[in-house]
Structure 1
Amino acid sequence: MERNELCWCGSGKKYKRCHMAMEEKMEQLREAGHIVPGRELLKTPAQIEAIKKSAELNTAVLDHVAKHIHAGMSTEDIDVLVHDFTVSHGGIPAPLGYEGFPKSVCTSLNNEICHGIPDKNVILQEGDIINVDVSTILDGYFSDASRMFKIGTVSERAERIVRVTEECVELGLKAAKPWGHLGDIADAIYTHAQKNGYSVVEDIGGHGIGLEFHEEPFVSYVTPKGSEMVLVPGMMFTIEPMLNEGSPDFFVDEDNDWTVYTIDDGLSAQIEYMVLVTETGIEVLTK
């Protein structure tokens, strides 16, 4: 763009006073061999404000689940909670119908890594751990987050994997800095998981989000520090590592072609934050 043109981001500022210096820095990094996002991955101020409203609803949905989840209810009951709350507040459950997914939320129990399908015959039992993964569309904008819930009193091994997963996400968040790399997040997460005896699922990771359900970049949690895409202000993505007790390998349910299970029947846990890279740090939009 010309220096005195209005910036492409819609801020109303001239390019020279808005994104010009940042894009010059991005070009220098690209020429030095770093992976740098294109403009299509950088959210504009107007888009950020709209996505934040979607994120607020997504968080409210998870808070609603937290108030009502209990032993004796089915995972189908969780789906009803999510669907009804989302729709009654003007949103759309993003998973419903996505590539044929039949429900409004993913409910992944114990040895299920992700993409568990709610079922009226799957009843929560005392001692279970379950990941509830909520994704919301509001006015065309997408948000995403998941939480682990412990049903009643759980075993020490169940409590520990949930706790370490949460620690991994927080350490990954702490490692994320503007002009750092996605690999910095991965290294912090992988190192802490390994230190505590857990493996990290390699082939399923986080993703860009906001204008679509899943955008670039793919966010790995097994790559080295200083690798992968540069974290440029305006990027928006999820941090959602999946930790397994044993092998990081998995298989997908042949009957529904969605639910992902640990290969050795060990426990798995996942926690998901949605974050925005700003000029001064990382802003958590959902958790």
Structure 2
Amino acid sequence: MTGRTDVELRHLRAIVAVADSETFTTAAARLRTTQPTLSRTIAQLEAILGTRLVARTTRSVTLTRNGQRLVDHARTMLDALDEALSSLESVSTPPLRIGAAWAGFGPDTVPLIHEWRQTQEQVIDIVHVPDPVRELHRGAIDAAVIREAPSRRHSADGLQRRRLTSERLVAAMSAHDQRATEPEVTLRSLMSTTIALCTTSSTITERMLHDHGDTPRTITVGGTEEWLTLIALGDVVGITSESTTHNHQSPDVAFRPIADAPLVEVSLVSPVERPHPALGPFEAFAHTYFSRQDHTI
């Protein structure tokens, strides 16, 4: 039991960051550290406690039962500490919390935040949330990364959006699918297969497919892991933004560009009223960053 007194705040913040992220890379970016350093910190914590906290796979990380128990207690402790510290006089601005349901800023997440930190002291937290718009209305995050086709763009009460860039749509299919031998596919070639829609991503919906003139059979799955598993088995195909190929690679799933699909817009959505003080500067910075890239992801 004495060894457990060696647990430090950095250990607790690390396990909570892992719980709130889909990959160690994303969690490390939130903590402003590297993926190897974060992995060592989690390994140290597991050694101190003498139990496995994180189950790692090639695609994602999940908490074990003991890991979830620790995270639940750690959140309470860290929230209490943060509240105590915030009660002290301070001129610092709280972190800018940016929520995303699926891929964040895709392959640009780490370089974008890294470049921001070169000149800015404002802390930015990238938070994985299942429903970014709902979390915005709840005040749990300050801004959200939203992907949707321009034809589906709609205004939500009390929210404003700023387009940052565009992404291509790709088809996700079993690596053994005959269509995976082609360099690209078309929407029409996918219509004979059941399309899996994922509840954690609002990019692709039945309405978007119908707007394109097709009415394929669709099913809805509850999360990324189930979505990828069904695709790998060849039971369904998926349609997603190209950033997914960066965050959710699998040897059993092939991603192919969809030649005739519309682009999807990547926007930063935020409340109209009482925005975070750092939101304006970050929006301008991100817009300049993506304009400089001058490419479709």
Higher RCO by CA contacts (8 Å cutoff, separation 6 or greater)? 2
TM range (shorter): under 0.3
Which structure has the larger Rg?
2
Report the TM-score when normalising by structure 1.
0.26
Which structure: greater helix fraction?
Answer: 2
